[in-house]
Structure 1
């Protein structure tokens, strides 16, 4: 790229000293260098702020702020968004790790595809002790992501990069203590196009076990978001013919588990060719598929 756009990376911190060095180093050492790294400490009670001051002395791209009172994550993020001056805004959590080419690959994709307003990536899973224990594979294209949003959150918060103009117009809902990212993605997807890179470009640290009270609150808020997604994206049946067969099969399995998509709807949603692959993967005899197809055509 001839004109390399500035990327604003926003990193909120609260009692993050345990993993902060790994997380910040992963951004500082990105192969893409035209960054401003905006960090806010939300009144940590450990030595997070002191560590951040040390980082700031070593890298002039770091712009460090500290809240006077604990504002919680959504409000802190919204304040950071106002401070961004880059063309793109990238999210990063203080306990995850971005792989070296993460920012570079996302910028290149967004520059080559101006119709896309938000871009995430797939991720490796890591335990607290630093051991990689697996990976997540999310759907890739806009249609597939919107469909899957009716079942689960289709983006890693730490992996997302957006056009700054989009995020400045669509900020986090401060009423969502949990699932604030999921709620925001749904609002953005109603008006904008989104994408996930198939590469695993972040390492997601699996969270500690939540308390029963926190779990219940998280479940309640996530349920509200899912209902909003289904209301927004299930008004008309989806045409998934432009999705990969593996994505379509994944949707079928998830939707089947959720209980809101059955045989006839499968045909309508994913098309005969993809359905044939699904049925083969399900070990259903192809002749049964042909019979079902003929029956549906007669209706």
Structure 2
């Protein structure tokens, strides 16, 4: 019986330093039925030269150039729409797949009914120099299975590069939302409303943490990441069906509104606080924050002090 085809969409943008290790990890997969597509989002370093070298040595690899820099969501959508696999793996070429990654997750899928759309796993975080930092499960406890909609509203617990996804999920969602600055939260909200998730308690992936990572600039004033979070929270509010889900969304809104206010993103803070009021009402503390936010009173030093004490930043 033939094994289902898995499409690995390798997204590259200026990953010259890490690209060989990443592509070698794809080629080292023990799972035999693979489709490998490399999508380069108009890199300005030597990434394309390295990619062409791999394509010459491994003709099974397909190379797609976006032609101009489009960003992750658009570049990925080009890749998955050009693919044929029953399962899709979104792989950034600064990360590393462990050899049994695909085989383990396909095996997990084969034990599950078709309403499970995503299998995710544990991961090891590594530095720019490939030194081990910590395991995802050490920092983010209790990985749930099944209906995870309320969980994804309320907290972060999925390591994004560990996901293997049924093709039908992307077809249902029409891929990532290209109007957003990042894809993860929106994908979780929209997919988890209809599909179940399964957790594989194995280390399958090494995720690289950069000194200047996307998350480090999340609440920088004027950053489009936070504006995208507001869009997704509004979308989530239209999808909630139970009291538990509303409470989970309220927890997310409080967290995001608090950080938006304390980083001077007053417009986004106001939008999040308004959505909180519509969702469950506004507790006393957040009514106070709303007043401070309206007057644009800068208390950002409190967040900076907290980070300095907790993280020694």
Common fold by TM > 0.5:
yes
Task: Find the counterpart in structure 2 of residue 52 from structure 1.
Answer: 51
CA pair 84-208 structure 1, distance change in 2 beyond 3 A: same
CA distance, structure 1, for counterparts of residue 203 and residue 235 of structure 2: 28
Match of 1:206 among 189, 193, 209: 209
TM-align CA RMSD: 2.6
Q: Secondary structure at the match of 1:49?
A: helix
CA distance, structure 2, for counterparts of residue 214 and residue 19 of structure 1: 30
Task: Find the counterpart in structure 2 of residue 100 from structure 1.
Answer: 99
Residue pair 1:149, 1:226 contacting (<8 A) in 2 also: no
How far 1:60 sits from its partner (Å)?
2.5
Task: Find the counterpart in structure 2 of residue 157 from structure 1.
Answer: 160
CA pair 101-214 structure 1, distance change in 2 beyond 3 A: farther
Task: Find the counterpart in structure 1 of residue 176 from structure 2.
Answer: 172
Residue pair 1:35, 1:61 contacting (<8 A) in 2 also: no
Task: Find the counterpart in structure 2 of residue 109 from structure 1.
Answer: 108
Give TM-score scaled by structure 1 length.
0.73
1:219 aligns with 2:223: no
Q: Deviations over 1:112-150 (max 9, x none)?
A: 11331111111111111211111112513023x323212
> 5 Å matches for 1:78-97?
78-97=77-96
CA distance, structure 2, for counterparts of residue 181 and residue 106 of structure 1: 19
Q: Which runs of 5+ in 1 are unaligned?
A: 239-250, 261-299
How far 1:215 sits from its partner (Å)?
8.3
Q: Which runs of 5+ in 2 are unaligned?
A: 259-275, 277-313
CA pair 206-65 structure 1, distance change in 2 beyond 3 A: same
> 5 Å matches for 1:1-299?
2-115=1-114, 116-137=116-137, 139-143=143-147, 145-170=148-173, 171-178=175-182, 180-209=183-212, 210-211=216-217, 213=220, 216-226=223-233, 228-229=235-236, 232-233=239-240, 235-237=242-244
Task: Find the counterpart in structure 1 of residue 304 from structure 2.
Answer: none
CA distance, structure 2, for counterparts of residue 224 and residue 153 of structure 1: 17
Runs of 4+ aligned structure 1 residues displaced above 2 Å come to 145-148, 151-157, 207-238, 257-260
Residue pair 2:150, 2:244 contacting (<8 A) in 1 also: no
How far 1:33 sits from its partner (Å)?
2.0
CA pair 200-111 structure 1, distance change in 2 beyond 3 A: same
CA pair 14-121 structure 1, distance change in 2 beyond 3 A: same
CA distance, structure 1, for counterparts of residue 222 and residue 34 of structure 2: 36
How far 1:72 sits from its partner (Å)?
1.4
How far 1:25 sits from its partner (Å)?
0.9
Residue pair 2:11, 2:40 contacting (<8 A) in 1 also: yes
Give TM-score scaled by structure 2 length.
0.70
